[in-house]
Structure 1
Amino acid sequence: MMIEFDEAVLDQLIEELSLTEDIAISEIPDIELYMEQLTTFMESKLESQVNGTPEKVLTKTMINNYTKAGIVMPPVNKKYTKRHIILLILIYNLKNILSIKDIKSLFGPVLNNIATPDDDLITLEEIYTTFLDVKNVELACFRQGLAEKANMIKAKTEASDNAGKKTAELFLIVIMLVAQADAHKKLAEKIIEKYF
C-alpha cells in the first residue's frame, strides 16, 4: 500500500481531530437543566470529539460518579446550572489525560468548596475561557511544531528510497507524538503531585 503523506495531509488530519470545535461560553445555557437535558446538550456539542468511537460523551452514571467523587457539586432540585456544565466540560477535556483523583487534586485549592462559587480563587467562567484561549494558542504552536518535526523526520528518511519510506515516516511521526504526549502528561502529573 502506497501512502501519500505531506504537510497538507497532516493539516487535514489535525482538522479531523475537531480540536477547534469547542463550546463557547455564550453557547452554554444559563438556565437549569434536568439530567436528560444536560446529557443531550453535552452529547450534541461534544459528539465530534469522540472520533467515531461508540463511547458516550457523558452519561448519568459518569455525572453521579463525579458528584460522589466531589469534583462536581450535587444538583439543586435535580437541576444542573451553567456552573455544572462548565465544570463537566472541563472534566471531559481533562479526563483524557488525568485521573479523576488528579482532577480533584487540581481543582481542590482553586475552587475550594465545590458547592459554592464564593470562595473560588478563579471563577469557573474565567478558568473555562482561559482554557479555550490557551487551547487555541497551543493548537497553533502544535501545527507549526509538528510541521517542523515532520520535515526533520523526512530529512532522516531521505536517503531511503524503498517502497516503505512513507510508512517509516508515519511510524516515526507516531512515535514522536507519543513521546511528546507522554512528556506533557508526566509534567502535568508531576505539577499536580508536587503543588496540589
Structure 2
Amino acid sequence: MEFTENEIVSLIQQLSLDKDINLSDIPSLDLYMDQVITLFDNKLAHLKRTENDKILTKTMINNYTKAKILMRPNKKKYTREHIILLILIYNLKQSLSINDIASLFSVLIENLDEKNDIEIDKIYESFSKIKKIDTDNISKELKEKLELITENTNTLNKEHIDLSQMLITVLTLINEANTKKRIAEKIIDEYFINNI
C-alpha cells in the first residue's frame, strides 16, 4: 500500500485531469453536430475509462436538447454557448441526474435563449480556473489521505494489509465524492428548485 509521493503524482498524471477544453479551443464559428463531436473527441479522449467509452454522441446531444438542458441549434449549427454548455453537462453528468442538471440550467438556458446578457464564457472560465486549482491540490490531499489510512490500519492483519488499505482508499475516495455530491444536490434543491 505504501504509495510513494512519486507514485501518487504518477497516478494522477495518468488521468490528465488538468487537460480540458479551453475557451481558446472553441471556434468562433458555429459548428455542425459532427464537428462538435470531433472537438470533444479530440480534446477529451483522455477522460475515457475504456477505449469504447463515448465522450459525446449525436443521441446525447439530441437528448440534452429534449431535456431542455441545451438550446436548440440554429440552422443545425451549434454556437460557442452550446459548446460551453455541453462541456458543463459532461462535467455535471458524471455525478448528477439529468433532472438535477435541468434544474440547475433552467434559468441559464432561458437567458441564453432570450439573448440576455449572461456571460457563459466567463462562468466557464471561472470554473476552469477553480478546477485547475483543485486538480493541483489533489496530490497533496491524496498523500494526506493515504497517511491517515496507514495510521488507522496498523492493527489489521499484516498478511492482507495492502489489500485492506487499497479497499479503504477506494471507500474513502467514494465517500468523499458522495458527500460532495449530496452537498451539490442540496444546493440544487434549496436554491434552484425551491426558488424558481
TM above 0.5, yes or no, is yes
Q: Which amino acid aligns with 1:147?
A: K
Q: Which amino acid aligns with 2:62?
A: N
Where in structure 2 are there 5+ consecutive unaligned residues?
Answer: none
Cα distance between partner residues in 1 of 2:187 and 2:167: 30
Give the number of equivalent residue pairs: 192
Find 1:148's aligned residue among 130, 133, 144.
144
- Name the counterpart of 1:6: 4
**RMSD of equivalent CA atoms:** 1.8
Provide, for residues 72-122 of structure 1, a one-character-per-residue CA deviation record: whole Å limited to 9, x for no partner. 1111111111111111011111100111111111122344334243153xx
Where in structure 1 are there 5+ consecutive unaligned residues?
Answer: none
Q: Tell which deviates more after alignment, 137-146 or 170-179.
A: 137-146
Cα distance between partner residues in 2 of 1:7 and 1:158: 20
Kept in 1, the 8 Å contact 2:69–2:109? The answer is no
Q: Which amino acid aligns with 1:94?
A: L
Cα distance between partner residues in 1 of 2:108 and 2:68: 14
The alignment status of 1:92 with 2:96, answered yes or no, reads no
Provide, for residues 148-168 of structure 1, a one-character-per-residue CA deviation record: whole Å limited to 9, x for no partner. 111011122335572322222
Cα distance between partner residues in 1 of 2:166 and 2:8: 10
- Name the counterpart of 1:158: 154
Q: Which amino acid aligns with 2:80?
A: K
- Name the counterpart of 2:186: 190
Distance 1:161 1:99, change over 3 A: closer
Calculate percent identity across the aligned residue pairs.
43
Kept in 2, the 8 Å contact 1:72–1:87? The answer is yes
Deviation at 1:40, TM superposition (A): 1.1
Cα distance between partner residues in 2 of 1:119 and 1:173: 45
Give the TM-score normalised by structure 2.
0.90
Deviation at 1:27, TM superposition (A): 0.8
